[in-house]
Amino acid sequence: MKDKNLPNDYNLLSLEELIFKTNKMIEDLENEKDLEKSIENYQTLLKLNNIIEKKFQKQAKIISEETKEKIKKITLKINEK
């Protein structure tokens, strides 16, 4: 499932906004009676999930790198004493 088929505005949203939209779609799917429409919405939901996963991985990588830098600085300060 390629997330390239989704509107570009999904890529611009924050993780929180994407999660909110995803939760809304899940709620709509649970209440949907028309199976044809459900299939379309479910596929969109899967694509959104991929975008959320990629954004989460990027954010986790950034946090990890920042943490390593902070540890490195602290270690250098301790070694200087």
pTM exceeding 0.85: no
Chain centroid to Cα 79, Å, comes to 39
Residue where the block lists tokens 């950034």? 62
d(CA 12, CA 4): 13
One pLDDT digit (tens) per residue for the chain, 81 residues:
444 555 567 778 888 899 999 999 999 888 888 887 788 888 989 999 999 999 999 999 999 999 999 999 999 988 887
Residue 1 is predicted with a pLDDT of 44
Q: Where are the domains of the chain?
A: 7-80
Q: Which residues contact 71 (CB under 8 A, 6 or more apart)?
A: none
